[in-house]
């Protein structure tokens, strides 16, 4: 049986080493063997778990957040509600259910799911069949019809392929993937230096750039500025641009060698929120955050919601709700409240999105 590893080895043997960016892109999105293309990676039996899979409260709170944003936009009808990389569709399903308390919002919704994986799109379809709201799929933001939009994405940016550069003898060289002597893959650096990168660093340091992320922020910010709307992106990453290799592979909830099993494990890189914010701001959109996921969820009411649900539940379920709340909000080891961050983009005519702090006005 051919695997992605075989294909990559053949490609490298034929054409020479490939960039880390290309390696990550093939690993995740190869049409036949890409990681997301033919599996359900989430949950206890999968490779990793995400906030919407940990608790229904995550999607519910984001659904209510979206309803409030919609009303601050002047209640446009229709409004595009777009989710980026929806996974199993859990977040959207919980969001639409919670939004039942704002029927006018639900009635105005035109839901679009931006998803590259046919397997996951099929799961989303099944889960949302009886959501009571029309749902359509797109491969890119361009396919979503014009008009005001509310865009949400959890763990979308971290799945976009990054380029890595390594400091070697006082120069930056692109990190590559080559064949090793044992019929496997190994990291290497390109023979020519990248003379346009200005940053200084110690020998061996790694610099990461997310070109697809930047392109996406330009496209998203540009759309919100022209057509109106707000976006919420939640991911794990750092608030301040820094150096370091953050490429990581997860299989069955354990870290594995990112080169060992391409297409068989999840491959991600931490999101450089400062860099993403710079590209978004360059479009003229207002950018809020990044703020810690824990602070965001508390600001939009996770404590009240935990309490309300726990009061109606039996003791076991109440205990489970509190545990889930702590995992999403807590800032200790193994908790997601500080590791994950939220950023919002908005058209400048709109007020500060719920949960975020106002930012000083910048000239348009
Ligand atoms: N938001 C979900 C899933 C996160 S995993 C959750 O929180 O559980 C990343 C998701 O993004 C998957 O659904 C994957 O198939 C999708 N994806 C990855 N790259 C993409 C791209 N370039 N365009 C659209 N979707 C993409």
Is the pTM higher than 0.75? yes
What's the confidence (pLDDT) of residue 359? 80
- Give 170 Cα–ligand 1 centroid separation in angstroms: 37
- Give 42 Cα–ligand 1 centroid separation in angstroms: 11
Write down the mean pLDDT value for the chain.
95
What's the confidence (pLDDT) of residue 144? 98
- Whether the pLDDT of residue 281 is over 80: the answer is yes
Number of C-beta neighbours around residue 300 at 10 A: 19
Residue 344: phi, psi to the nearest 5? -125, 145
Residue 137: phi, psi to the nearest 5? -115, 150
- Give 28 Cα–ligand 1 centroid separation in angstroms: 10
**Atom number, ligand 1, closest to the C-alpha of residue 212:** 22
What's the confidence (pLDDT) of residue 43? 81
Average pLDDT over residues 35-48: 88
Residue nearest to atom 24 of ligand 1 (CA): 115
Q: Which of 61, 85, 161 maximizes ligand 1 atoms within 8 Å of its Cβ, making it the mutation to test the pocket?
A: 85
**To the nearest whole percent, how much of the chain has pLDDT over 90?**
93
- Give 86 Cα–ligand 1 centroid separation in angstroms: 6
Chain mean position to CA 337 = 16
Residue nearest to atom 2 of ligand 1 (CA): 87
- Give 159 Cα–ligand 1 centroid separation in angstroms: 7
- Give 291 Cα–ligand 1 centroid separation in angstroms: 22
Could you report the per-residue pLDDT of 155-185, keeping only the tens digit for each? 999 999 999 999 999 999 999 999 999 989 9
361: pLDDT confidence band, cut at 50, 70 and 90? low
HEC readout, the chain:
CCCHHHHHHHHHHHHCCEEHHHHHHHHHHCCCCCCCCCCCCECCCCCECCHHHHCHHHHHHHHHHHHHHHHHCCCCCCEEEEEECCCCCHHHHHHHHHHHHCHHHHHHEEEEEECCCHHHHHHHHHHHCCCCCCEEEECCHHHCCCCCEEEEEECCHHHCCCEEEEEECCEEEEEEEEECCCCCEEEEEEEEECCCCCCCCCCCCEEEECHHHHHHHHHHHHHHHHHCEEEEEEEEEECCCCCCCCCEEEECCEEECCCCCCCCCEEECCEEHHHHHHHHHCCCCEEEEEEEHHHHHHHCCHHHHHHHHHHHCCHHHHHHHHHHHHHHHCCCCCCCCCCEEEEEEECCCCCCCCCCCCCCCCCC
Average pLDDT over residues 239-244: 91
The binding-site residues of ligand 1, defined as CB within 6 angstroms of any ligand atom, are: 36, 42, 50, 52-53, 85-87, 91, 114-117, 120, 154-156, 159
**To the nearest whole percent, how much of the chain has pLDDT over 70?**
98
188: pLDDT confidence band, cut at 50, 70 and 90? very high
Which of 140, 110, 346, 114 shows the shortest CA–CA distance to 228? 346
Q: Which of 159, 162, 211 maximizes ligand 1 atoms within 8 Å of its Cβ, making it the mutation to test the pocket?
A: 159
Could you report the per-residue pLDDT of 18-35, keeping only the tens digit for each? 999 999 999 999 999 999
What's the confidence (pLDDT) of residue 38? 83
Q: Which of 40, 116, 152, 213 maximizes ligand 1 atoms within 8 Å of its Cβ, making it the mutation to test the pocket?
A: 116
What's the confidence (pLDDT) of residue 45? 85
Dihedral (Cα; 248, 249, 255, 256), 10-degree rounding: -120
What's the confidence (pLDDT) of residue 134? 92
Could you report the per-residue pLDDT of 323-332, keeping only the tens digit for each? 999 999 999 9
- Whether the pLDDT of residue 310 is over 80: the answer is yes
CB 175 within 8 A of CB 19: yes
């Amino acid at each position: 049986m051919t695997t992605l590893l075989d294909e990559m080895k053949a490609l490298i043997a034929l054409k020479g080493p490939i960039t880390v960016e290309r390696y990550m892109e093939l690993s995740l999105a190869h049409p036949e063997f890409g990681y997301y293309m033919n599996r359900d990676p989430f949950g206890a039996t999968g490779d990793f778990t995400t906030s919407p899979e940990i608790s229904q409260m995550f999607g519910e709170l984001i659904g209510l957040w979206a309803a409030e944003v919609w009303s601050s936009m002047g209640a446009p009808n229709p409004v595009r509600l777009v989710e980026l990389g929806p996974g199993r569709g859990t977040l959207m399903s919980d969001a639409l259910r919670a939004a039942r308390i704002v029927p006018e919002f639900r009635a105005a919704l035109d839901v679009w799911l931006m998803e590259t994986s046919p397997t996951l799109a099929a799961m989303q379809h099944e889960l949302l069949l009886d959501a009571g709201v029309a749902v359509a799929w797109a491969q890119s933001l361009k396919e979503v019809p014009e008009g005001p939009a509310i865009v949400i994405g959890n763990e979308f940016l971290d799945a976009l392929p990054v380029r890595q550069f390594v400091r070697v003898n006082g120069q930056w060289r692109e990190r590559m993937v080559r064949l090793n002597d044992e019929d496997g893959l190994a990291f290497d650096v390109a023979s020519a230096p990248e003379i346009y990168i200005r940053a200084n660093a110690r020998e061996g340091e790694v610099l990461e750039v997310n070109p697809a992320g930047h392109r996406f922020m330009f496209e998203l910010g540009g759309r919100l500025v022209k057509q109106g709307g707000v976006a919420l992106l939640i991911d794990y990453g750092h608030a301040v641009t820094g150096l370091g290799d953050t490429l990581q592979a997860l299989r069955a909830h354990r870290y594995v060698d990112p080169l060992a099993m391409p297409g068989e494990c999840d491959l991600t890189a931490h999101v450089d929120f400062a860099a993403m914010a710079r590209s978004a701001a360059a479009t003229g959109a207002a950018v809020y955050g990044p703020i810690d996921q824990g602070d965001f969820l508390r600001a939009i009411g996770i404590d009240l919601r935990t309490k309300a649900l726990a009061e109606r539940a039996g003791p076991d379920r109440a205990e489970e709700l509190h545990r889930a709340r702590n995992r999403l909000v807590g800032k200790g080891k193994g908790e997601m409240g500080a590791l994950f961050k939220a950023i919002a983009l908005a058209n400048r005519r709109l007020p500060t999105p719920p949960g975020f702090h106002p930012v000083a006005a910048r000239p348009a």
